Amino acid sequence: MSNPYRVQNPKTNTVIETFDFISDDDLESALATAHDAFKEWRELSYDNRAEKLRKAAQIFDERRDTLTRIIAEEMGKSIKEGDGEVDDVVEIFNYYADNGAEFGADQEIPNNQDGTAILRKVPLGVIVGIMPWNFPYYQVARFAAPALMAGNTVMVKHAEICPRSSQQIQDILEEAGFPKGAFTNLYASHDQIATLIEDSRVQGVSLTGSERAGRQIASQAGQALKKCVLELGGTDAYVVLDASDVKEAAQTAWNKRIGNTGQACTSNKRIIVMEDIHDEFVQELISLADAYVKGDPLNPGEAGEHEYFPLSSRDAAEKLAQQVKLAVDAGATLHTGGELDTEGAYFSPAVMTGIPVGSDSFYEEFFGPVVTVWKASSEEEAIELANDSLYGLGGAVMSEDEERAKKVANRIDTGMIHVNIPQARGAELPFGGVKNSGMGRELGPLGMDEFVNVQRYFVAD
């Protein structure tokens, strides 16, 4: 069986290093170790677990230069954006260290029985995580930190193009004092993950990835009667109701869309603009796109003030180019950009308008620097466009009249909705979606509740 685990620099499409799949025997040994580690880890107090989470946060902070260079070469993230990602990881580990004891505390329930009723949050056991390449450290921290703080152990199958970063996470946690098996990085095949999900020692699974992968993992988890959390795709609506400074409004929308080279689940992939400012808004987006030049992920800023970086892989860039072509064939207008590099994974920032409502392209997620805009003649039409989606992850409504924005935001069907900010971010804010964007929540107080047994504990008087 050919091995997809590799470091393949998207700047050049060159394979730097390959990694062997874990053998079935070694997978069994790793699962046994994780199961044994759970017996030890679950018995530690929240304070003891918090101490190790804080130490992990410290090591992530100290090792950021190495960590950012690794993912720049693995999936093309500029070291400047990678540095911000490490900040997020540090924040998440410290957040659960600081708040985990409170989130996991027993809760007494008033009752009319002859005794004391308590809700206890009891760890489940080994939890399998299947993680994506777009935020190689942050996505894992989002899943692993609360699961570990709750007393579970975790096994992670990362994206095939992130083998070095995934191993770094295990190394850091073990250096921080986590017992061997508390966090295990697996170079596993999809069949091996299916085997893990079926195993009685595994008690849950969390996936961040595509809708297709979500359906597959949810099916396997359901067959095995295991809890699953799914964070899938998004085509987030970004509604601009008015703006006295249209250029500034366009710049704000642009900054959100171009972040991580457009490869974010919560990127504003469908920008809906009221007709009186639409044309000026689009023209400003075109001007912004035209100002961008190729940048080197390892040396951001070297080519100029406005740079775009490669997508995660040549395959991803070719898929995006095909999506743009099909949208144009369906009737959309490509105003600028959309040029695919000859060898690497660079794809120049594009601006498109007029993707026909109801077409296949209208419902697709463009996972890259493609800014798509629709014109709305009324708030009602804007709401209708926003909700005409298979997904429901995030979204935003922008207006200088806050009450107007809130009125529209209240009618948008999504797991997270924002008023007058593209996206609020922070370890304390729960994250997740509805519809085909998945189920369950990560981060915040809810993040620690997903993989625990909320046990009724009754003591008779």
Q: Block means of pLDDT (10 residues each) for the chain, length 461 residues?
A: 84 96 98 98 98 98 98 98 98 98 97 96 98 98 98 98 98 98 98 98 98 97 98 97 98 98 98 98 98 97 96 97 98 98 95 98 98 98 98 98 98 98 98 98 97 98 94
- Tell how far CA 354 is from the center of its chain: 28
| Assigned CATH topology for domain 237-419 | Aldehyde Dehydrogenase; Chain A, domain 2 (3.40.309)
Q: What is the CATH number of domain 6-232+437-460?
A: 3.40.605.10
Q: CB under 8 Å to 248, separation ≥6 — which residues?
A: none
Query: For 16, which DSSP code?
Result: E
Of 95, 73, 7, nearest in space to 445 by CA: 95
Per this entry, what is the length of the chain?
A: 461
CA dihedral in degrees (41, 43, 44, 49; nearest 10)? Answer: 40
Q: How far apart are CA 242 and CA 152, in angstroms?
A: 48
What beta strand segments (E) does 167-225 contain? Answer: 183-186, 202-208
- Exposed e or buried b per residue across 341-355, where buried means at least 16 C-beta atoms within 10 angstroms of its C-beta: beebbbbbbbbbbbb
Look-up: residue for tokens 């457009």?
262
Look-up: residue for tokens 């489940």?
124
Q: Which residue intervals of the chain bear CATH 3.40.309.10? A: 237-419
Query: For 6, which DSSP code?
Result: E
Catalytic residues: 231, 265
Residue 36 class from Cβ within 10 Å (0-12 exposed, 13-18 middle, 19+ buried)? middle
pTM of the model: 0.97
- Exposed e or buried b per residue across 125-156, where buried means at least 16 C-beta atoms within 10 angstroms of its C-beta: bbbbbbbbbbbbbbbbbbbbbbbbbbbbbbbb
Q: Which residue intervals of the chain bear CATH 3.40.605.10? A: 6-232+437-460
pLDDT value of residue 2 = 55
CA-CA distances (angstroms) from residue 10 to 43, 189, 388? 44, 22, 34
pLDDT value of residue 1 = 41
